[in-house]
Amino acid sequence: MLNKVRRSAGVTLVELIVALVIVGVALAGMVAVYTTTTRASADPVVVQQMAAIADNLMEEVLMKPFAKPVGNAPSNGARINFDNVLDYNGYDTKAQGISDVEGTPIPGLERYEVGVAVDTTATLPNVPSGQAMLVTVTVTDLRAAADAPGRTLVLTGWRTNPS
């Protein structure tokens, strides 16, 4: 008896079309996930940038002496002239972007606005009255997404009189 040899090599046209459809659907799903992830990934970068701005300005403020000023803060707003914590009270960039200590705008940070408030009436436990200041730095994203307009990040810190 002769055995019939069946040819089983290769794929049929129908199998090839089904395989292409399955791969196409899988790729479309992966592209959709990638697109969603890419859109959402910019948000953490903005929040991280806002936190870095707030942290740097808070450090600058808290490193200044506690002593109350003899006069008012300079009217030009250049932080290089601020000589104590209270000089920062009311500091605001007013939509001019973030600048360095000398007042020179920092490229790439035009989308942010920063403000500082110093509260001399705040109290801390076990600290005598008038010997502590609550410093609040607020950073606002002026070009926030439509779903979160005017997003802000608030950082608070305390400065006490070391004497």
Q: Which residues contact 157 (CB under 8 A, 6 or more apart)?
A: 58, 61, 62, 134, 135, 137
Residue 140 included in any domain: yes
Residue 36 included in any domain: no
Residue 39 included in any domain: no
- The torsion defined by the Cα of 60, 73, 105 and 40, in degrees rounded to 10, comes to 60
Residue 56 included in any domain: yes
- Joined tokens for residue 71: 């006069």
Neighbouring CB atoms inside 10 A of 13's CB total 7
Q: What is the pLDDT of residues 142-161, one digit of tens each?
A: 876 665 566 889 999 999 98
Residue 28 included in any domain: no
Is residue 137 within 8 A of residue 58, CB to CB? The reply is: yes
Residue 13 included in any domain: no
Domain count, the chain: 1
Residue 20 included in any domain: no
Residue 93 included in any domain: yes
Q: Quote the domain boundaries for residue 76.
A: 44-160
pTM of the model: 0.68
Q: What is the pLDDT of residues 114-130, one digit of tens each?
A: 999 999 888 888 888 88
Report the percent of the chain where pLDDT is more than 90.
34
Is residue 138 within 8 A of residue 156, CB to CB? The reply is: no
Q: Where are the alpha helices (DSSP H) in 63-102?
A: none
Strand stretches in the chain, DSSP E: 112-119, 132-141, 152-160
